[in-house]
Amino acid sequence: MTTDRYQQGMDKLKELTTPDENNPTGHMEVGESFKDIAPDLTQMVVEFAFGNVYSRPGLDNKQKVLTTISALVAQGTPQIGMHVITGLKVGLTPDEIAGCIMHLIPYVGFPRSLSALKVAQDVFAEQGVAISEEMAEQLKNR
């Protein structure tokens, strides 16, 4: 069954990723690798997470990804990397992504922030991006 909600979700997904022939949903894992154990997972992710939630007004895409990353840092869940890539795709700068993880130290403690920082560091290296020289300079001289 293809619902309107599903279509809404697929449309939203295209804003958040760069699909190609091999990956119609781009870098986003939306449940395709779980077809054998949960054949309806992709449908749930697309209808609910993208059709109901990401399509909602209120926040722009950059704010949505910032909010997502913040919650995952707090939870200590390992799926942060995928959302860092989405963040870069929708226009969050490395300064904003690193800034978000550092900002959370007083709320979630050093261990969770440092685990997330390592993930972001690895994604930045893979994607060939880095924090701006301007920010680096300011942070060295505080």
Closest approach, Cβ 88 to a second copy, in A, equals 14
Q: Report the alpha-carbon distance of residue 26 to residue 55 in Å, rounded.
A: 18
CA distance 41 to 52: 15
Question: In terms of CB distance, is 20 or 36 closer to a second copy?
Answer: 36
Q: How far is the CB of 1 from a second copy (least distance, A)?
A: 6
Q: How far is the CB of 117 from a second copy (least distance, A)?
A: 6
d(CA 76, CA 46): 24
Kindly tell me which of 18 and 79 has the beta carbon lying closer to a second copy: 79
CB of residue 10 to a second copy, shortest distance in Å: 15
Which of residues 28 and 89 has its CB atom nearest to a second copy in the complex? 28
Alpha-carbon distance of 44 to 46, in angstroms, equals 6
Q: Nearer to a second copy by C-beta: 21 or 137?
A: 137
Beta carbons of 116 and 73 less than 8 angstroms apart: yes
Measured CA to CA, the distance from residue 112 to residue 76 in angstroms comes to 6
20/93 with CB nearer a second copy? 93
Min separation Cβ 19 and a second copy, Å? 20
Question: CB–CB of 13/52 below 8 Å?
Answer: no
* CA pseudo-torsion sign 133, 90, 83, 22: negative
